[in-house]
Amino acid sequence: MSSVHTDDFKGRTAVVTGAASGIGLALSRALLNGGVNVLMADSNSIALACAVESLSVHAAQVQHAAVDVTDAEAVQLLVDFAEARLSRVDFLFNNAGISGVPSVVDASLDDWRRIVDVNLWGVINGIHAVLPLMRRQGGGHIVNIASIAGLLPSPSNVLYTTTKFAVVGLSESLRHDLAADGIAVSVACPGAVATNIWGAKEIPRDAISAEQAADEILRGVARKQGIIVFPGRMRRGWLMQRWFPRKMDRILAKMARPRAQVR
């Protein structure tokens, strides 16, 4: 973790979902390096065990649990476990998510249900479970990991974009609703990050590393930013969408045209 925000996290506690790889693992490592006690959660128990083993130097700071974020009862047990072991939850990082689903013209209703269950209901389940605890303890910070696809329409990735727009809207509404309770809410909207979420697809050449993404997210969290957009070219694209929507429509139309021709 960068020294810029180490003091904002030292001695705190955090729960990170989707912690076995990618951004979740990078966040866990950065938080541990910054002196945070971390409960790492992931649905893949084998990958999670390997991730925890890779962080053995921080063994005294790490707890872990195999949890499917689509299971509300399991997520509640995760938060209860965090309270029992860590006494409190200062940060919840709702990071678990999936992509790699079919195009909208090929998608089944089961495809829709699966991605909504993980990417949206997984976030809702985390918020619902941790909110009473954060209110009792007098504060906390909920961090939802979305995507630039939650701010800019992605014609080639409709299902994923739908869930990420929902997470952004949820986060922004929640941020204002919980301000009086002393609970901060941030939503991270990164561009391409080199993680296994791409599956068999080629990782974009301009993708940043998971470690870079984690550092950007924690910088934004330390500053209590509502929407954390990175890298810089993604921020510029977001601003263009807000300020010049007609110009952005033309750009998006060009992006959608090749797939329409294939269809």
Nearest-angstrom CA–CA distance, 42 and 65: 7
64 is catalytic: no
Which one is catalytic: 121, 160, 165, 238? 160
Catalytic residues: 160
